[in-house]
Amino acid sequence: MFDRIDIFCDVIDNFGDAGVTYRLARSLKTELPDSEIRLFTNGLEAFAEIDRGIDHKIKDQICGGIRFSSYDILTPEFAEKYEIPELVIEAFACRIPAAYYEKALDSDCLIINLDHLSAEKWIEGVHLKESLTGRKAKKYFFMPGLTSASGGIIPDRQLSDGEKAEKRKYFENLYGLESDSFLISVFTYEHDFRQFFSDLKSIGKKVSLIVFGEKSQRSIGKADLEDDGIRIIYSDFLPQAEYDDLLKACDLNFVRGEDSCARACLSKKPFVWHAYHQKDNYQLVKVKAFLEYLEEFYSDLEFFELYSSYMMKFNDRNGTAADESAGFMLQNAQTLERYNISLSEHLIKNCNLINNLLFFAGSLKTDK
């Protein structure tokens, strides 16, 4: 279909954009094993954290069949000799270095402007709309989302029940956990966890928390928790594929940002999404839209209202909002899991971003 695909990513918030484009590149390589997939970025350091096989000091390298290249190599001399591929993916309206971009605009290539994941309805009206370049190249918006009218989400590897049990044992051995503990992963922005810890103390179970990222770890530390029944592990980041598996092995996950939210949706496990803080608390608009989408998968609307209210308060950054009790969620994790199984199965069947992207790009190639 496409012999070569170039992806561009500006690293802004460390792992968010890098994580999505790394996953995109790997998924495209899996789908098109004979194609050359190349990812240009200004932040190889972030990619090296995601994949330990990447050396951020090497400006141009191949890892796992994908070529990772620093913007530093994109000199006018390089661009002059470089053949622009038929498909170029501009992630999150990043600024493609001028020497490359100017040549691309005068070529026959298709440029896909890949946006951020959103559950807001307006994205469906923008998805696949042309962005006029005034030049030879064609450019279109591609809007990831959770409906068949959007671009969908990047799939990941699904695990059988037996594989989930094996992964659970793997992480228990990795972190030295007891096999009968209630396992929670935490990867959030800054948050006051005092109410949540109070809830944990009341459920009458051994609890293990695996906490990732400086912001989460600092927040958990401020809660000053002392309880023999709760164990906290401050973990280094895992490779992306391992983190995906951890979400599927835990009993509850707190996730932040868009890619981790998508992984949580596919994990079939209970989760709380912590959205990136935006001016005037605008992240609450995004969270509300996401919850409105989730509601269709819940038959018990009273239970959903508890879940929805908890997540909205968890994301309110007005300085005075306090968390609601998470007791209902901790005591009914299996109920939440059943609903999330339905969500995951729907997304897997109907919202495959890789299939949607290649079908659309291929249809334009055929029309030439």
Catalytic residues: 17, 258
DSSP string, 216-241: HHHHHHHT----TTEEEEEEPPPPHH
Q: Give the angle subtended at the CA of 85 by the CAs of 80 and 89, to the nearest 5°.
A: 110
Give the integer Cα–Cα distance in Å for 39 and 44: 10
Phi first, then psi, for residue 279 (nearest 5°) are: -55, 140
Give the integer Cα–Cα distance in Å for 364 and 316: 43
Q: Are strands 252-256 and 182-186 parallel, antiparallel or unpaired?
A: parallel
- The single-letter code of the amino acid at 269 is K
Place of tokens 């209210």: 309
Give the distance, in angstroms, between the CA of residue 267 and the centroid of all CA atoms in the same chain.
12
Give the integer Cα–Cα distance in Å for 121 and 48: 35
Give the integer Cα–Cα distance in Å for 305 and 298: 10
